[in-house]
């Protein structure tokens, strides 16, 4: 993640993998199918986190080079271990001040990040600056205002209890019309958007619940409740989940919005 609100920090790559990395790959695969990028490009993954999407990018797009930036040193450490052998170069950096010269990269992507950027327009402008003429500039993000976040229902239930959950600074940036406006406002051309629906299956309630407890925006709030309150809350959540009566699995849907455009001047 990049330019994260002070209340939401992803500093544990392994825990992030279980909570969001799996979701990131599910949505990322759909996103890359839609993007259909050419092979052999130099890529910059803005807000690479623990490298979950970076790994998919390398496997799916046959890039010439891949760079990833993120402000979290622990996340970068996890990403380097995940992609050992020099498959990608990872640097500490901020989405609103990319540590790259102008017109230096063929393709840039911001995966599940734009709502964490305090000034999304500045972040998109930075990607447009770093892209070469004709460069592909893209992003995908959970539809936060529309309830597309994977754990939206759980968060809503917590808020109903009177708990205040930390929120990213720019949730509206994930709206399709806002993404369109951000990309055209940065001077990008051939801008188009797309909605992505993905499903994740948990092996059972314990799998789902332990994943939730590791969430930086949910786990700390549950820890503030008394044990009896947590048990009651867990029971209520379980009763609302779509548990398969045959095998106990739980399938949850989420929705993301995607956008792509190009830096003017390409052939």
pLDDT in tens, 21-53: 889 889 999 999 999 999 999 999 999 988 989
Yes or no: say if 115 and 171 are a contact pair by the CB < 8 Å rule: yes
The pLDDT, as a whole number, for residue 174 is 97
The pLDDT, as a whole number, for residue 87 is 84
The pLDDT, as a whole number, for residue 12 is 56
Say if residue 2's pLDDT is above 50: no
What is the value of pTM for the model shown?
0.90
Helix or strand or coil: residue 258? strand
Chain mean pLDDT for the chain: 91
The pLDDT, as a whole number, for residue 133 is 98
Predicted confidence band of residue 101 (pLDDT cuts 50, 70, 90): very high
pLDDT in tens, 130-188: 999 999 999 999 999 999 999 998 888 888 888 888 889 999 999 999 999 999 999 99
Topology adopted by domain 13-199+255-262:
Rossmann fold (3.40.50)
Q: How far apart are CA 54 and CA 44, in angstroms?
A: 9
β-pair partners for 92: 70
Cα angle for residues 228, 232, 238 (degrees, 5° grid): 145
Predicted confidence band of residue 215 (pLDDT cuts 50, 70, 90): confident
**Angle, helix 120-130 to helix 176-185, in steps of 10 degrees:** 50
The pLDDT, as a whole number, for residue 48 is 93
Among 98, 36, 37, smallest CA distance to 67 is for 98
Sheet holding 105-111, edge to edge: 89-92, 65-70, 42-46, 105-111, 131-142, 250-262, 189-202
β-pair partners for 212: none
């Amino acid at each position: 993640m990049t330019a994260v609100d002070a209340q939401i920090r992803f500093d544990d790559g392994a825990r992030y993998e279980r909570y969001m990395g799996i979701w990131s790959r599910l949505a990322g695969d759909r996103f890359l199918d839609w993007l259909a990028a050419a092979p052999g490009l130099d890529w910059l993954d803005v807000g690479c986190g623990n490298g979950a999407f970076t790994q998919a990018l390398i496997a799916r797009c046959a890039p010439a080079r891949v760079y990833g930036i993120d402000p979290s040193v622990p996340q970068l450490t996890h990403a380097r271990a995940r992609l050992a052998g020099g498959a990608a170069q990872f640097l500490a950096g901020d989405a609103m001040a990319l540590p790259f010269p102008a017109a230096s990269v063929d393709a840039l992507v911001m995966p599940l990040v734009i709502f964490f950027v305090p000034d999304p327009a500045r972040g998109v402008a930075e990607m447009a600056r770093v892209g070469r003429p004709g460069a592909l500039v893209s992003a995908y993000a959970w539809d936060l205002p529309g309830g597309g976040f994977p754990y939206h229902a759980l968060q809503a239930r917590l808020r109903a209890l009177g708990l205040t959950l930390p929120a990213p600074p720019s949730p509206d940036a994930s709206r399709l019309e806002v993404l369109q406006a951000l990309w055209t406002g940065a001077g990008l051309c051939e801008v188009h958007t797309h909605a992505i629906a993905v499903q994740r299956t948990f092996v059972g309630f314990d799998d789902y619940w332990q994943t939730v407890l590791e969430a930086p925006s949910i786990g700390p709030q549950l820890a503030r409740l008394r044990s009896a309150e947590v048990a009651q809350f867990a029971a209520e959540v379980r009763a609302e989940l779509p548990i398969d009566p045959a095998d106990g699995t739980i399938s949850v849907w989420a929705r993301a919005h995607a956008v792509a455009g190009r830096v003017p001047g390409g052939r």
